[in-house]
Structure 1
């Protein structure tokens, strides 16, 4: 593909320190990495009628782990030999450029504002088959950019150019960005940290997503301690729960 030309150096400690932890890259044989692979498999089987071309990850509130989950799931999908594109659509608090140690002078915001073309901003990573589009400079009007026809066209082009498009979106209850994006992708997953997320807040986030007819595939419970979970997923990730699970 003509879009995918850039080469990426090996990630160093600094790139991981200031982004989110990529345990699926740094320790692929760990139990947590295996949990991410199980989550990937569960997501793959969550849509029986049609294959998923685009998946969005969000949370009810900030700092609940949605970037850690989305970025690591992206790595596990790419490890299968699938061409994966990860978009940092959190234009207010971006992290993808830090996690993968790539530049952020250009990105989603500069594409949507008409200042750059897709081939100028898509970047390869150290993980084979995984490409990223960083947020770009923080714009004054994130919601307007994400709700534009340019965003619609971009999503269509990226899904045609990849096996899977993963969108790292802002929290649902904080801004409208996640709702805008969830209405445009094949499926949405809510990340819920056990013992941290407010039950009412999670319900409200689900209601907001349902209001835009988002296809909620389910939820991932993270930050689960061994004491809180006696199941296979005990240790950090509580696993994947279907949209109809209570």
Structure 2
């Protein structure tokens, strides 16, 4: 079992920045794209009774596909004409800029530390998927401290004036406190669980850590790769 997991981790390490992971945009008629639309529908059901304008995506550990799930969900919401923004708030191992070949010199970390940079100057539009991206920016020495500031609250408030839906990609929950901090600032959290990668104990630990900060956990996406261009996803409460 452990050999299988190590092999899977190596495969994910090599492939996680592959633009083909944007399957919802590349193959909109595929079974996988339909699964992402199902996830969208389940989120929309939650929106009926709750204001869910800001949603955080994270996982218990690395290589579980949180960034892939986050960006594909963004894509299917953008397909409905929604104004969607993906924020790469993983200021430790950022990946969103690499997925879309964006300049990462200016981004969230820059906004947090600059007194003169405007929010719109840090945002980049990705025409191929019809949504905007706020990259992480240069990796700072103190990501969790930056997230736990009034400046972060101000940025979120400003973004909410411009977008219908804002999706945040955060580091794994168990390893650092970033996701816990942001979970107190957003409307909901979705946990990504990767088949053959996620450890059961770590998943339970991640849920416990979210509960400690009274996070609104909307549900989880079970993510299991079946071949190079196919994902099996399910969303549950």
**Could you tell me how far 1:212 is from its partner in structure 2?**
0.7
- 5+ residue gaps in structure 2? 1-15
- In terms of fraction of residues, the more helix-rich structure is 2
2:103 paired with 1:108: no
Deviations 1:134-189 (A, max 9, x none): 00010011111111111011111111211001001111001100000011000000
CA distance in 2, matches of 1:102, 1:193: 26
CA distance in 1, matches of 2:20, 2:58: 15
Distance 1:128 1:27, change over 3 A: closer
Whether the 8 Å CA contact 1:109–1:139 is kept in 2: the answer is yes
Residue 182 of structure 1 aligns with which residue?
Answer: 183
Residue 99 of structure 1 aligns with which residue?
Answer: 99
**Could you tell me how far 1:43 is from its partner in structure 2?**
1.1
Distance 1:64 1:158, change over 3 A: same
CA distance in 2, matches of 1:19, 1:27: 12
Distance 1:176 1:25, change over 3 A: same
Q: TM-score, normalised by structure 2?
A: 0.87
CA distance in 2, matches of 1:22, 1:213: 32
**Could you tell me how far 1:18 is from its partner in structure 2?**
4.7
- 5+ residue gaps in structure 1? 1-15, 227-234
Distance 1:25 1:90, change over 3 A: same
Residue 217 of structure 2 aligns with which residue?
Answer: 216
CA distance in 1, matches of 2:80, 2:168: 19
**Matched residue SS, 2:168:** strand
